[in-house]
Amino acid sequence: MSTSEEVSKKSCGGLTRSEVTNLLQSVIGLHGIEVKDDRIEFPGVHPSANVLESELSDEIKTTVILYKDITSISPFEARIEVLLQCGELYIFSITDNVKTHINTHSDGKSAKSEKPTTAQDVAGNIWDGLEKTLASGKK
């Protein structure tokens, strides 16, 4: 069983500090991730939708992710993905310091749902968002 399969099968909020540290080990230094007792913190992710990079503030924001909010951590060959129960996805490159934040909510809500977000929910919401973006570009 691969590492990502093992983590994906864990129950929501079931990750410990040592498990998170182990899974993020290859990107902790590269992305300035600080591992705390109940959370990880890292600089530089701007969750601002539809804002050009040149218009982002120079102020460095700190992103905080509580372990209890993590649905899964999936390591891949060139990246590590952290999926939160609310449907937000953080992608950390293993090869450079690029971090990506994707809001996978189909309706723009950031409130937690009663059940955890699944990979199918995320895929569906991303597809819906792409369809809307493509449709608005055809006008």
Reported pTM: 0.65
- The pLDDT tens digits of the residues spanning 46-79 come to 555 555 556 656 666 889 999 999 988 999 999 9
> Does residue 6 carry a pLDDT above 80?
no
- The pLDDT tens digits of the residues spanning 87-136 come to 888 999 999 988 888 877 655 454 445 555 566 666 666 666 666 666 66
b/e code 4-24 from CB counts within 10 Å (16+ = b)? beebeeeeeeebeeebbeebb
Q: Is 35 exposed, middle or buried (0-12, 13-18, 19+ CB in 10 A)?
A: middle
> Does residue 1 carry a pLDDT above 60?
no
pLDDT at residue 123 in the model: 64
User: Could you tell me the two tokens for 107?
Assistant: 């309706």
Cα separation values, 58 from 52, 53, 54, 126, Å: 13, 10, 9, 28
